[in-house]
Amino acid sequence: MRGNQLITGVLIISTVTLIASNIYLHTELINLKASTDQPPGEHLSQHDVITLVDDRLSSLEKRKAQELLSSLEEQFQLAQVSTPDNRLIYGELNARITLQEYGDIECPYCRKMHGSIKQVVEHSQGVINWEFKHFPLGSHNPVAAIESQAIECVKEAYDNRTAWIALERFMMDTKGNGKGLGDIPEYVRSFGLNGSLIGNCLASDDHKGKINQDYEDGRRAGITATPAIRILDNQTGQDYLLKGYRTPEQLLQAVQQILSQ
């Protein structure tokens, strides 16, 4: 009986969704027709009609991208808008523990661990934050280094929170292992960012020095591969290095060891 009710409910929801989509499409077609209506004696050329249709579709795509960006911002409320020293930080700025990740956007295990770190921070009640440091591997370059620069471009053009949104999107959508995302300016437009702005920033190489500095910091800390995490106790100055993929449980266990000392 419950199974039949569930199926009925799903069918009703699907039907309502389809009707709503058709109404929306019908409204847009009416608007498009209105925009192409001309006074008697005046006619649009085929080129003009195609241009109007393209403009309308472009407008719809931009609206959807902006709506997506707004929904993503809700998922990253723990990322402050601004951070000290232009650091890429997720979580409470004054947290006692910092999970300082040295990551490569093209690294499959970095992608696998990305959600785990976010989960740990979000359930820590402000005790733990997360700092991302760029460590693009030579085997994944030049793509990985360019993607790292793009994240810094987003941070400069927008803010820390938007940079975290971009970082997660890059991580989840890249083909990985140096294969990349394709055209980055075009890609960032898909979730509401200004592709021209990011493209110009990339062309300038303004953030190349920042990426190189992060990489050298990691090398000095003994890091040679990704992912790697330095667990920093901001109260005592103690730190502990984890190399390789870790589950949320393993990350929490390492944090507890530091806190208990």
Annotated domain spans of the chain: 2-27+44-75, 84-259
**What confidence score (pLDDT) does residue 21 get?**
46
Q: What is the mean pLDDT of each run of 10 residues along the chain (261 residues)?
A: 41 44 50 51 56 58 82 92 96 98 99 97 98 98 98 98 98 98 96 96 96 98 98 96 96 94 83
The Cβ of residue 96 has, within 10 Å, a number of other Cβ atoms equal to 18
Q: Is 176 left (phi over 0), alpha (psi -120 to 50) or beta?
A: left
- Residue 195's SS3 state is helix
- Residue 139's SS3 state is helix
The secondary structure of residue 158, as a DSSP letter, is S
**What confidence score (pLDDT) does residue 110 get?**
98
For residues 8 and 106, give the distance between their C-alpha atoms in angstroms, rounded to a whole number: 44
Contact at 8 Å (CB) between 57 and 31?
no
**Entry pTM:** 0.77
Dihedral of CA 167/168/173/174: which sign? positive
* 141-142-148-152 Cα dihedral, nearest 10 degrees: 160
Instruction: Give 240's strand partners.
Output: 231
DSSP H or E run through 197: helix 195-204
* Residue of 78, 82, 90 lying closest to 130 (CA atoms): 90
User: Helix-strand-coil percent breakdown of the chain, rounded to 5?
Assistant: 60, 10, 30
Burial of 260 (0-12, 13-18, 19+ CB in 10 A): exposed
For residues 134 and 105, give the distance between their C-alpha atoms in angstroms, rounded to a whole number: 8
Alpha-carbon 179 to chain mean position: 18
**What confidence score (pLDDT) does residue 180 get?**
97
Instruction: Give 232's strand partners.
Output: 98, 239
Domain 84-259: give its CATH code.
Answer: 3.40.30.10
Residues 6+ apart with CB under 8 A from 131: 87, 88, 89, 90, 98, 99, 100, 101
